[in-house]
Chain A
């Protein structure tokens, strides 16, 4: 009896294992890897919510997020892709796209977009797809401009109104500057480790306002102009007047993005020059902080740099349609509404952006004015971006330290810039 029972149990166990394994194979989910740098900006909960809502609609798909910090993101991703392990869908900046495209790592979104859903077609503007060298290589998730962001409470406590132009900014900074209490109105990341922040945010934005152009249609330098000199002179004057944290030029050259974000979130400085995503970054560190964009500035022009961040689909993916479906989910009305309301990001969904209450939003309100200005300029894909940022930063630092005049610094930077761009083509 005991032997019979043992036999029955053994057969049952084998059957159970077989059935389990077969079912397991039958229900194996398709894996989709999403590379992103947004955890600190959107919060890990938001990233998980995006994945969960997609998986609910696609129960046979499992999305795995691959996070890397923004400053090391493109390097890590390129290493992965060169090893043949490219994530299916990748967060992408326009400025990095040339490097990925040159290696043939970006799928052409054109054919995928042609078979997109009706909902997508009705809510996603074709202008949000980036075409480069005849191919649709990436699409924006959100667009933005860089401007002065301020801490509402700190400005109210100091009894000053938000500045409306660059000279008013200087006045506000002068008011906020307290050398005894060691308080400054603004922190600017002028360290070499944040050279791309300086070039894209501080230099390029101010250059457009000064009436200049960064590059021509071939990516060659045009910043070695009187407007470029005016740009550098403005930032140097703030440094020389001790209005920038920590009150010395050399100290400012040691301040990176990480430090300036910490200082802003900790309410040690009242202003920074950055994009609307800083609200999310600051809220992650200080849930009580209230931030807003100043009204759009005007110098020689009132234009801004039009930028954005988006996603690309890997040419190595085995599931391009699923990757596209995930992209459609990212720009869906549901996700867009959440990102606009909670993170103040101008999400790429016309239906969500059409909400009238957005004009009242302290971060999004000024944005439509920035975007619609005819003097505003879009950034473009550039080869060897890290080198280009380094060139601008190094020569600007030399000027800030008084080692050479502004025009000479820009001329030398332009020469090096053009050599890099020419070699990159």
Chain B
């Protein structure tokens, strides 16, 4: 048995992996364990130490209406951001991947579309804060078109969409680059074969591009989900969750309860719940995506 194990695995390889694995365990597993442990504890100022409180933090969390508001907003924000990111990134990547009459102009646009990604989130928040002002340039343009003044960040029915839009503006170049890279890696021979079969450009897109890009798009959605779900800086700078908590995200809840109010046990419980929600969502998504891919094959 021992021999067979040695035959199957290169034991020396494990030795070489050991430092990296130790580092991983120390940097991921240990903090994770501590957060889970803390979520069952409460800091007692009288004793000066953490004390075990059972499920109290979770009971408190699930009965807090603000938590559920933040969960709802976060899902809307995440799904909306993914849709907007792909909505901007995919068509632009297709456009930039197409044959242009002048390569220099195409390359110029490839550079130009990356520009928003160079803005730090607070800088983008300040820029869009100016544009969104009630008497700012956007509202001026809208008034010239006969549309009334829109309080982009002051109207609870607009605010979440407005911050999603800014989030999409800042981050779509990242996804555009990833998709463009994927498009460029599709073998040209597939398109040539499709052309020989008489496929027009829509059919080539549906039967060649989309299937070839499926895995990459799935990865892009996963990355986007993971980053949007715990998004903080941009929206915090723009609205701090207002008006009427309409842009209050789960990361704000964690920050305010756990860090600003020093309720580390409660904050840890929030962290654990966030991790669980993300793990469940990602698992379901990956499971469904793999099943679909298998069915397609």
Contact = CB atoms under 8 A, between A and B. Distances in A.
Interface in B236-256: 238-245, 256
Interface string A102-141: 1100000000000000000000000000000000000000
A384 interface: yes
A89 to B, nearest CB: 22
A254 B153 contact: yes
Interface string B127-163: 0000011110000000000000101111100000000
B155 A393 contact: no
Interface stretch (B33-41, B258-266, B288-296): B258-266
B262 A251 contact: no
Contacts of B152: 254
Nearest to B236: A193
B262 A99 contact: yes
Contacts of A248: 134, 149, 151, 154
Interface string B149-191: 1011111000000000000000000000000000000000000
Contact of B134 (A102, A254, A397, A401): A254
A341 interface: no
Nearest to B155: A250
Contacts of B256: 386-387, 390
Interface residues of A, number: 33
Nearest to A252: B154
Contacts of B132: 254
Nearest to B247: A192
Given A254-B134, A384-B261, A387-B261, A193 B240 contact: yes
A253 B242 contact: yes
Main SS of the interface on chain B?
loop
Interface centre among A99, A252, A254, A255 (most CB of B within 10 A): A254
B45 interface: yes
A75 B260 contact: yes
A75 B258 CA distance: 12
Nearest to B162: A254
Looking at chain A's contact residues, the main secondary structure is helix
Interface string B13-36: 000000000000000000000000
A3 interface: no
A387 B238 CA distance: 18
Contacts of B243: 191-192, 250, 253-254, 397
B242 A191 contact: yes
Contacts of A401: 244
Contacts of A394: 242, 244-245
Given A251-B154, A254-B152, A387-B261, A191 B134 contact: no
A393 to B, nearest CB: 7
A57 B241 CA distance: 47
A386 B153 contact: no
A401 B157 CA distance: 12
A4 interface: no
Nearest to A251: B134
Contacts of B153: 191, 254
A102 B45 contact: yes
A99 B259 CA distance: 11
B135 A102 contact: no
A259 interface: yes
Interface in A144-201: 182, 191-193, 195
A398 interface: yes
Contact of A254 (B154, B259, B260, B262): B154
A259 B131 CA distance: 12
B151 A250 contact: yes
A62 to B, nearest CB: 31
Contact of A246 (B134, B238, B245, B259): B134
A193 B134 contact: no
A403 B238 CA distance: 24
Contact of B239 (A193, A251, A383, A403): A193
Contacts of B240: 191-193, 195
B259 A75 contact: yes
Nearest to A184: B135
Question: Which of A99, A247, A253, A403 has the largest number of chain B CB atoms within 10 A?
Answer: A253
A79 B259 contact: yes
Contacts of A253: 151, 154-155, 242-243
Interface in B257-284: 259-262
Nearest to A79: B259
A103 B154 contact: no
B262 A103 contact: yes
A394 B245 CA distance: 7
Contact of B244 (A259, A383, A398): A398
Contacts of B259: 75, 78-79
Contacts of A255: 134, 154
Contacts of B134: 246-248, 251, 254-255
Contacts of A103: 262
B263 to A, nearest CB: 8
A393 B262 contact: no
A84 B37 CA distance: 23
Interface in A56-111: 75, 78-79, 99, 102-103
A179 to B, nearest CB: 12
A182 B135 contact: yes
B242 A192 contact: yes
A422 B233 CA distance: 30
A397 B262 contact: no
A238 to B, nearest CB: 16
19 contacts: A75-B259, A78-B259, A103-B262, A191-B153, A192-B240, A192-B243, A193-B238, A246-B134, A246-B149, A248-B154, A250-B151, A251-B154, A253-B243, A254-B154, A259-B133, A394-B244, A394-B245, A397-B242, A403-B244
Given A192-B242, A251-B151, A383-B261, 12 more contacts: A75-B260, A78-B262, A99-B262, A193-B238, A195-B242, A246-B149, A251-B154, A254-B151, A259-B133, A384-B260, A387-B261, A390-B256
Interface of A: 75, 78-79, 99, 102-103, 182, 191-193, 195, 246-248, 250-255, 259, 383-384, 386-387, 390, 393-394, 397-398, 401, 403, 424
Interface of B: 45, 132-135, 149, 151-155, 238-245, 256, 259-262
